[in-house]
Amino acid sequence: MLPAPVPPASQPAGPPPTPARRTSTHTDRRAVTHAALRGVTYAARLPRTHAARLPRAPGDPPCRLCYIDCFMSPSPELQQTPLHAVHRASGARMVDFGGWDMPVQYSGILEEHHAVRRAVGLFDVSHMGEIEISGPQAFDLVNYAATSAVAKMAEGQAQYAGLLYDHGGFVDDILIYKVTPTHYFLCVNASNQEKDFEHIAALQREKGFDCAVDFASPRYAQLAVQGPLASAVVQQLTPVDLKSIRYYRFADGEVMGVAARIARTGYTGEDCFELFVSPEHAVALWNKLLEAGAPHGIKPCGLGARNTLRLEAGMALYGHEISATINPVEAGLLRNIDLNKDFTGKPAVVRCAETGPTRKLCGIEMTGRGIARDGYEMFVDGAAAGWVTSGSPSPTLNKNIAMCYLPVSASELGRTVQVLIRGQQVDAVTVPLPFYKRAK
């Protein structure tokens, strides 16, 4: 059995982080490291003079790129995952990630990135949050709070969805797991977990749904085994037939003889098994996975590689591609929205879909020399037109890539645009997303 529910608790969300800027434009190993760290260690924020010139959507704050809860000023009260001592003892480079002391790299971001693309990598993602919703009207609450087609979910299925404010911006993006018709398990972003819990609990109180909303994060550790050989590693530790778990499905069973939720979900664009276990089993499971994966070339991986991998796969990161001021239509996430039901923020989404967005999330490749880093300004025909949400050298493609917001009128594929890099407008070209797709 997985951990039994306990009465919900909530904590106030912390203050927004202070960004740190880097300006290196080298495209060597150091550039990959800097760009990857940038994606996980600071809030993308444009200078006021630049941000003021960018086109705004109704309701945008003075600077709309300040919502990521990532790198924060050093704090004596950093939270720790159950694997914290292991990371420290293993020599991992640690950073303050949204108030958590987390490994950003072990052997190096390039090596870890390639391990996941070519073999298998192991990530500690126990900082992620968990919320459980149970009771006679659990479905009604989840269906109203989330954008996706929850009614179409089968038991043992997972869905990617958004939690939205009334104005259509993102509270967060989440994964929904349907355990039973009266029990849903949500995995949410680490820095948003208290905020998400309060948001969902408020909807439950407002609508009077007969169900309990439980802040379950303290009861779970989460390990992610990602890469083409992930199944070969995990299968050694579980009697569950992993071939029976399809993509975005999960099963409750045992791993290493302890209760676990085994989910075939991930955040790198590769095959993946995310394992939810009680925190007291995390260290033993981490060590056993490394032992079982040794013949397959497994590497422990940090958040730096996780960032470059998800960028290549075109996956959104809260505070970068999505935020409180970004509508799902602008982010290209209309496919994750069920417009045939009622949900929080629906009127704003419908308006944007019907009138058409003015800006759109795009992929770009640099054709000029330089790296389009998070927060850099985009230009079209000599005029400021948008901003880079995530950018880095791509270890897999050997190109400098980025995601950015551009006016819809300038978003056609093959369009030449410019990125402002150290005061110079450097050429790039719009390309399809994702940048990388694994072979089936």
Q: How far is CA 13 from the centre of its chain?
A: 18
CA atoms of 148 and 346, how far apart (whole Å): 11
Contact 402, 419 (CB under 8 A): yes
What does the domain layout of the chain look like in residue ranges? 84-119+219-310, 129-217
Give the CA distances from residue 413 to residues 22, 206, 304, 371, 410, in Å, rounded to whole numbers and listed in that order: 29, 44, 29, 20, 9
pLDDT at residue 40 tops 70? no
* pLDDT of 403 above 70: yes
- Phi then psi dihedrals of residue 25, to 5 deg: -120, 15
What is the secondary structure of 54-73 as a DSSP string? S---TT--SSSS-----B--
Q: What is the pLDDT of residue 27?
A: 36
Q: Is the pLDDT of residue 366 over 50?
A: yes
Q: Which of 19-23, 76-80, 199-203, 267-271 has the lowest mean pLDDT?
A: 19-23
324 touches 178 (CB < 8 A): no
Q: What is the pTM of this model?
A: 0.85
Kindly report, residue by residue over 1-21, the tens digit of the pLDDT. 454 433 333 333 333 333 332
| pLDDT given for residue 380 in this prediction | 98
User: Band of the pLDDT at 439, cuts 50, 70, 90?
Assistant: confident
Given a cut of 50, whether residue 51 has pLDDT beyond it is: no
- Using 50, 70 and 90 to split pLDDT, how confident is the model at 57? very low
d(CA 27, CA 39): 16
d(CA 437, CA 440): 9
206-244 burial string, b = 16+ CB within 10 Å, else e?
A: eeebebbbbbbbebbbbbbbbbbbbbbbbebbbebebee
Question: Which residues, in sequence order, are CB contacts of 348 under 8 Å at separation 6+?
Answer: 164, 166, 167, 168, 327
- CATH class held by domain 129-217: alpha beta
User: 118-151 pLDDT, tens per residue?
Assistant: 999 999 999 999 999 999 999 999 999 999 999 9
Fold of the 84-119+219-310 domain: Gyrase A; domain 2 (3.30.1360)
Name the helix (H) or strand (E) containing 289.
helix 282-293
pLDDT reading at 368 higher than 80? yes
Give the list of residues 6+ apart from residue 295 with CB closer than 8 angstroms, or none: none
- In this prediction, residue 41 carries a pLDDT of 38
Q: Calculate the average pLDDT of the chain.
A: 87
CA distance linking residue 437 with residue 24, whole number of Å: 28
The answer on pLDDT for 313 being more than 60 is yes
Assess whether pLDDT exceeds 90 at residue 111: yes
pLDDT band at 77 (very low <50, low <70, confident <90, very high): confident
Across residues 220-246, what is the average pLDDT?
Answer: 98
Given a cut of 80, whether residue 408 has pLDDT beyond it is yes
Q: Residue 107: exposed, middle, or buried by beta-carbon count in 10 A (0-12, 13-18, 19+)?
A: middle
Sign, Cα dihedral of 321, 10, 136, 165: negative
Least confidently predicted of 55-64, 288-297, 319-328: 55-64
